[in-house]
Every structure is written in structure tokens, then in C-alpha cells.
């Protein structure tokens, strides 16, 4: 049986028809993990992808525990512990990336992952035990006498996770005390997420001493519901988890004047759509389409651009397109001007050349000649 068949067989064995919700949550978490990394690759995306993979594994691991499938796959025993130790720092650094715009890990940040290496080193002798020995050890721990050594290790993991979760919730809550649409939505994401992780950790620890299948099933079902909640939240507010922003629209604001909108949040979302999502590269982008993405009216967006950027829609979009074109002209000196024009969102070379000349007082070819040595 090849690795793909083995994996599918394992999933089918573990997720029986009675666990349809858990199976749906498992694949939703994996789908989110893949979705985050196929977007423009940023620090937040990677953290979120890792986090959702770990959440999926927690669902999987709890399922094989209470379904007793762990006896068929004893090599998976205790593999949850390093994952849980990684989850704490990942959640913490994700929180920092949202509130402090942290964009990468520094060398000093490696200390946060030191407990993972220590626990793996401590458990390494257990990981390399024969499968039969692991099965016997699991049986004795569950039905004869709990293994004090593993209880202590899991207790350390729980304490480690609790510290990171509580500190992450504190960090995300502190700057969001001012009432605005973003604060409620971010809390809506972080708090259940933290609660989900806490529940899952205690569930695994609980299983070390007790064997009540019903309790573990209930806990896993709760975790699955939280994962599905995150999945639907990520679709309702697609930029919430990635950039910490939400649409500025409110039911009472949809037809209101600009003064009633959250201007700071609107500006953050607009800049994000331009710099991160590069919506200006869409040659069919219109005022109506951009305002729809921001969930405000075209009139509100037009007014906002005039008041806060001193530009109309075309000038605002063309500024981003020209700046992107400048980078292409210098970075890729062999690339054709027409290709660059279409790449940055213009629907014709003439429109590109006219806008470029207006912005820089130079033709694209002249700009390239002045800024690329040897041209």
C-alpha cells in the first residue's frame, strides 16, 4: 500500500460517519492552512497556516485516542506534545504581527521554541520504542496505572500553553479597548481560539488519567465547532486574520456620511488592499468594485479619497500602478514595456505611457534609461 493509500485508509478508519462534524472541521482547518500559504507569502500567513495544521492534528489526535485507533498506530503516541508546544509561540507571534506589525522571527525569538527541543529530547527514547512496546505502555497507562513521568510532561506542556494563550489574549485585548468594529471582530477570533486550545490541552491531559469516551468526544466536538466558526469567520471577514482589519460598514452606516465611518480602519483596509492584495493590478478595477470590497458606497469612497488623499479614484490607483511599473522597469530591464503596462493594471500601452509621463515627466523608456546602468 503506497503512502497516499495509507493516509486515506487512516483517515477513513479514524473519522467514522458519526464524526462528520469533526471530519468537516479537520478538512476545513487543512483548507485554511493551504489557503493562507498560496496567498502572497507573509509572516502572518505562515503563522496562521502552521496554527491551523496543528489545530487539525489536535482534532485528529483526540479522535484516534477516544476511538482507540491509537493502538493501530502506536507510532503516533505522544506526537501531540511537540505540536502543542509549538502552538503557544505561534499564537503569540501571530498576535504580535497583528498589533505590532512584526514581520519576521529574530534570532532572539528562538528562545520561545527551546521548550519544544527539550521535550523532544526528553521523549526521544519513547518515540523510538517498538510499536508493540508503545501499545503495551499505552494500555498500562490507561487501564492499570497512570505513568507519572508522562503526566508530569503533559502538565508542563499545559502550563506552557496556558502562559502563552493568556498572554496572547492580554496583548490583543490591551490595544483594542477603544470601541470600533475591528476590536470586536479580532476578539471574536482570538478569545474562542484561545478557549479552544485550552480545552484541547486539558482533553489530552484528561485522557492520561481517565478513559471516559463520551467526555473526549464532547470536547473534540466543541473544538470542531470552534474551528468551523473560525473558518466561516475567515470567509465573512477575509482580511481579519491576515491583517487585523474588517470592513468599516455597519448597518446604520451604509448610507451615512463619511464622518460616521471609522476613518482609521477604512484607511488601513484601503492601503492593505493596495499594498498587500495589489488590487490595482486588476485592469477592470472600478470605483464601484473597490467600494464594494471595502463595503462602503462609491460616493463614500470618492469622498474619502478626495478628503484624505487629495486624489480622485483614477489618480489614486494610477499612483500605485506607476510605482509598481517603476520597480519593474529597474528590476527587469529586459522586460517589454507593453508587458509591464498590462502587469500593473493598465488596459493599453498608450494609457500607461500617458499616466507614467504625467506622474514622472518621463516616458517609461527614458525612466529605465536613467535608472538602469548600461542602458
Task: Report d(CA 109, CA 368) in Å as an integer.
Answer: 41
In the prediction, which pLDDT does 50 show? 93
Task: Say yes or no: 232 and 344 in one domain.
Answer: no
Q: Which of 17, 57, 49 is nearest to 31 (CA)?
A: 49
Task: Say yes or no: 133 and 273 in one domain.
Answer: no
Specify the pTM: 0.69
Mean pLDDT, the chain, rounded, equals 78
In a domain, 252, yes or no: no
- The number of C-alpha atoms within 13 Å of 104 and in the hemisphere containing its C-beta is 3
In a domain, 277, yes or no: yes
In the prediction, which pLDDT does 187 show? 58
Q: Which domain holds residue 299?
A: 258-371
Task: Say yes or no: 212 and 178 in one domain.
Answer: yes
Task: Say yes or no: 11 and 71 in one domain.
Answer: yes
In a domain, 362, yes or no: yes
Task: Say yes or no: 68 and 118 in one domain.
Answer: yes
The tens digit of pLDDT for each residue in 64-117 reads 888 888 888 888 888 888 998 998 899 889 888 877 767 888 899 999 999 999
- The CATH number of residue 350's host domain is 1.10.10.60
In the prediction, which pLDDT does 275 show? 83
In the prediction, which pLDDT does 356 show? 92
Task: Say yes or no: 43 and 143 in one domain.
Answer: yes
In a domain, 251, yes or no: no
In a domain, 192, yes or no: yes
In a domain, 180, yes or no: yes
Task: Say yes or no: 151 and 230 in one domain.
Answer: yes
- The CATH number of residue 156's host domain is 1.20.1070
375 residues of the chain, pLDDT tens digit each:
556 556 655 555 555 555 788 888 999 999 988 988 887 677 888 888 999 999 899 889 888 888 888 888 888 888 888 998 998 899 889 888 877 767 888 899 999 999 999 999 999 998 888 888 888 887 777 666 767 788 788 778 878 887 888 787 777 666 554 444 445 555 555 665 566 556 655 655 555 445 456 667 777 787 888 888 888 877 777 666 666 655 555 444 444 456 556 677 788 778 878 887 788 988 888 888 888 877 788 888 888 898 888 889 999 999 999 999 999 999 888 889 999 999 999 989 999 999 999 888 989 999 888 887 766
243, 267, 299: which is the final residue of a domain? Answer: 243
In a domain, 253, yes or no: no
Report the b/e string of 119-135 with b at 16+ CB within 10 A: beeebeebeeeeeeebb
Q: What angle do CA 290, 294, 300 make, to 5 degrees?
A: 80
186, 218, 243: which is the final residue of a domain? Answer: 243
What the block records as the C-alpha cell of 262 is: 471609522
The tens digit of pLDDT for each residue in 170-193 reads 776 665 544 444 455 555 556 655
Task: Say yes or no: 236 and 281 in one domain.
Answer: no
Tell me 210's DSSP state. -
In a domain, 73, yes or no: yes
Task: Say yes or no: 103 and 128 in one domain.
Answer: yes
Task: Say yes or no: 94 and 133 in one domain.
Answer: yes
Counted domains in the chain:
2
Task: Say yes or no: 189 and 82 in one domain.
Answer: yes
In the prediction, which pLDDT does 319 show? 92
In the prediction, which pLDDT does 169 show? 74
In the prediction, which pLDDT does 246 show? 53
How far is residue 127 from each of residues 34, 63, 75, 139, 335, measured CA to CA in Å? 28, 20, 7, 16, 53
Task: Say yes or no: 118 and 220 in one domain.
Answer: yes
- Please, where are the H alpha helices in the chain? 3-14, 20-38, 43-66, 80-99, 114-127, 131-139, 148-173, 181-209, 213-236, 240-243, 263-275, 287-294, 298-308, 313-331, 337-343, 349-360, 364-371
195, 211, 243: which is the final residue of a domain? Answer: 243
Amino acid at each position: 500500500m503506497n503512502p497516499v493509500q495509507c493516509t486515506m485508509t487512516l483517515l477513513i478508519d479514524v473519522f467514522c460517519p458519526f464524526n462528520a462534524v469533526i471530519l468537516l472541521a479537520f478538512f476545513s482547518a487543512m483548507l485554511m492552512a493551504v489557503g493562507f500559504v498560496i496567498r502572497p507569502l507573509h509572516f502572518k500567513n505562515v503563522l496562521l497556516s502552521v496554527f491551523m495544521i496543528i489545530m487539525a492534528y489536535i482534532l485528529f489526535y483526540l479522535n484516534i485516542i477516544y476511538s482507540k485507533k491509537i493502538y493501530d498506530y502506536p507510532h503516533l503516541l505522544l506526537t501531540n506534545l511537540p505540536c502543542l508546544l509549538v502552538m503557544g509561540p505561534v499564537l503569540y507571534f501571530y498576535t504580535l504581527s497583528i498589533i505590532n506589525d512584526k514581520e519576521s522571527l529574530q534570532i532572539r525569538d528562538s528562545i520561545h521554541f527551546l521548550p519544544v527541543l527539550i521535550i523532544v529530547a526528553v521523549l526521544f527514547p519513547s518515540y523510538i520504542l517498538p510499536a508493540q512496546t508503545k501499545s503495551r505502555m499505552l494500555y498500562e497507562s490507561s487501564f492499570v496505572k497512570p505513568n507519572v513521568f508522562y503526566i508530569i510532561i503533559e502538565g508542563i506542556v499545559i502550563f506552557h500553553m496556558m502562559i502563552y494563550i493568556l498572554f496572547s489574549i492580554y496583548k490583543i485585548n490591551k490595544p483594542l479597548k477603544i470601541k470600533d468594529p475591528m476590536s470586536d471582530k479580532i476578539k471574536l477570533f482570538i478569545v474562542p481560539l484561545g478557549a479552544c486550545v485550552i480545552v484541547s490541552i486539558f482533553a489530552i491531559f484528561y485522557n492520561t488519567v481517565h478513559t471516559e469516551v463520551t467526555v473526549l468526544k464532547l470536547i473534540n466536538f466543541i473544538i470542531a465547532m470552534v474551528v468551523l466558526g473560525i473558518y466561516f469567520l475567515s470567509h465573512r471577514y477575509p482580511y481579519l486574520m491576515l491583517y487585523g482589519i474588517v470592513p468599516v460598514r455597519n448597518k446604520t452606516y451604509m448610507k451615512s456620511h463619511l464622518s460616521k465611518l471609522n476613518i482609521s480602519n477604512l484607511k488601513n483596509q484601503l492601503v492593505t488592499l493596495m499594498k498587500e492584495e495589489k488590487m490595482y493590478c486588476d485592469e477592470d478595477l472600478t470605483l464601484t468594485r473597490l467600494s464594494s470590497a471595502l463595503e462602503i458606497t462609491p460616493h463614500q469612497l470618492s469622498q474619502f479619497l478626495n478628503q484624505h488623499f487629495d486624489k480622485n479614484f483614477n489618480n489614486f490607483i494610477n499612483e500605485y500602478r506607476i510605482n509598481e511599473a517603476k520597480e519593474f522597469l529597474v528590476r527587469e530591464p529586459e522586460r517589454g514595456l507593453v508587458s509591464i503596462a498590462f502587469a500593473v493594471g493598465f488596459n493599453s500601452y498608450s494609457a500607461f505611457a500617458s499616466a507614467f509621463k504625467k506622474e514622472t515627466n518621463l516616458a517609461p523608456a527614458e525612466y529605465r534609461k536613467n535608472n538602469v546602468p548600461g542602458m
